[in-house]
């Protein structure tokens, strides 16, 4: 497989042009393209350019409304609601963050609920934007059902990630971004595309048996991280991002892959908090002590450090992308 090096801007422009050519507005395309490029920069290729053909397929079949205009409402002080209009989640999040950040600075805390939405890509991409504004960012996003409850075999909740971005002097000091499943579903989808096996603890087939076949895994259930505890985390996210935000439950959402069903209408929920207000000015020192306790151990690392290393390498050497994938996305531009 041949590879080529691209800059962050080149990846973003390529994705933007492909999305617009397939029916996305400039607003929808630019918001998503920024997330795609950031995923490549952070070494999370499963959410990068490889996903653009799927995004374009969903624009063409109507799973995503490419010309959707997010509708922002601020019903109460500290509360923001955004109807994504079945457009990409990135555009709705971008629209909601402007009032969210302003409210959090004024009130000390603010919440944003988004419904009629879609896959929001790497959740930490969004929470880190809050940390860059000096706010503690906490995010939740639900997904089509793919995890069965402990003792069951029928999926009830999605992989349902949550993310915490802790602010510091230079953006996020550390970032937690993890799903309720052992791995993100996109990792299994990537291996299915490449004809590769998966570890037998990642998922179960439709009969509830562990499987190393990614195609059988996609017909069955993702394995929850930590067993029943992982399912509990997924339920927490489902309550926040679906029930609380007024979005579709995972059991009622159409898949993020393929063309079956209409818009998934899933949701996101974000909390933004002023850490200095709640901590009485102690926050920065406490976080520093916490980080030192982790980093003083030779083999230990803070969550998000791997992404940061990828980010630094990409900035210095460029983003390495398979040439075949670049050609595929370029073809979508028409």
The pLDDT tens digits for 204-254 are 888 888 899 999 988 888 888 888 899 999 999 999 999 999 999 999 999
Q: In the structure, what pLDDT confidence band is assigned to residue 257 with cuts at 50, 70 and 90?
A: confident
Q: In the structure, what pLDDT confidence band is assigned to residue 151 with cuts at 50, 70 and 90?
A: confident
The answer to whether 38 and 314 have CB atoms below 8 angstroms apart is no
Q: Does pLDDT of 174 surpass 90?
A: yes
Q: Which helix (H) or strand (E) holds 171?
A: strand 171-178
Tell me the average pLDDT across 39-60. Answer: 96
Question: Where do the DSSP E strands lie in 274-326?
Answer: 319-322
Domains of the chain: 1-61+304-334 (1.10.1530.10)
Kindly report the average pLDDT of the chain as a whole number: 95
Two structure tokens written together for 56: 């374009």
The alpha-carbon radius of gyration of the chain (Å, integer) is: 19
Q: In the structure, what pLDDT confidence band is assigned to residue 184 with cuts at 50, 70 and 90?
A: confident
d(CA 24, CA 13) in angstroms, rounded, equals 14
Q: Does pLDDT of 326 surpass 90?
A: yes
What single DSSP character describes residue 147? Answer: B
Q: Does pLDDT of 272 surpass 80?
A: yes
The pLDDT tens digits for 278-310 are 999 999 999 999 999 999 999 999 999 999 999
Q: In the structure, what pLDDT confidence band is assigned to residue 185 with cuts at 50, 70 and 90?
A: confident
Q: Which residue has the tokens 């000091």?
A: 173
Q: In the chain, what's the furthest Cα-to-Cα distance?
A: 56
Q: Which residue has the tokens 């997010």?
A: 70
What 3 state SS string does 192-224 have? HHHCCCCCCCCEECCCCCECCCHHHHHHCEECE
Tell me the pTM.
0.94
Active site residues: 46-47, 187
**What whole-number percentage of the chain has pLDDT above 90?**
85
Q: Which pLDDT value is given to residue 206?
A: 84
d(CA 74, CA 103) in angstroms, rounded, equals 10
């Amino acid at each position: 497989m041949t590879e080529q090096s691209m800059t962050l801007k080149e990846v973003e422009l390529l994705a933007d042009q492909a999305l617009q050519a397939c029916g996305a507005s400039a607003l929808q395309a630019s918001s998503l393209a920024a997330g795609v490029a950031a995923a490549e920069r952070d070494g999370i290729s499963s959410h990068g350019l490889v996903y653009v053909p799927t995004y374009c397929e969903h624009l063409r079949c109507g799973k995503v409304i490419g010309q959707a205009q997010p509708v922002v409402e601020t019903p109460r002080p500290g509360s923001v609601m955004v109807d994504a209009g079945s457009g990409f989640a990135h555009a709705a999040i971008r629209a909601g963050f402007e009032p969210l950040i302003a409210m959090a600075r004024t009130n000390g805390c603010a919440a944003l609920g988004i419904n009629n939405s879609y896959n929001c890509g790497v959740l930490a991409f969004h929470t880190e934007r809050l940390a860059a504004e000096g706010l503690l960012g906490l995010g939740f996003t639900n997904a089509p059902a793919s995890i069965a409850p402990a003792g069951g075999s029928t999926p009830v909740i999605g992989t349902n990630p949550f993310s915490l971005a802790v602010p510091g002097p230079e953006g996020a000091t550390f970032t937690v971004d993890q799903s309720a499943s052992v791995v993100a579903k996109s990792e299994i989808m990537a291996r299915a595309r490449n004809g590769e096996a998966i570890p037998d603890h990642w998922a179960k087939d439709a009969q509830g048996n562990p499987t190393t076949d990614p195609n059988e895994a996609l017909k069955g259930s993702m394995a929850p991280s930590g067993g029943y505890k992982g399912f509990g985390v997924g339920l927490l996210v489902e309550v926040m991002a679906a029930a609380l935000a007024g979005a579709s439950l995972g059991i009622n959402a159409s898949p993020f892959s393929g063309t079956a069903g209409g818009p998934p209408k899933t949701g996101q929920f974000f909390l933004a908090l002023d850490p200095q207000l709640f901590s009485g000015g102690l926050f920065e020192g406490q976080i520093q002590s916490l980080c030192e306790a982790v980093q003083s151990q030779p083999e230990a690392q803070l969550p998000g450090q791997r992404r940061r290393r990828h980010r630094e390498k990409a900035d210095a050497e460029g983003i390495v992308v398979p040439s075949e994938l670049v050609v595929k996305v370029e073809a979508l531009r028409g």
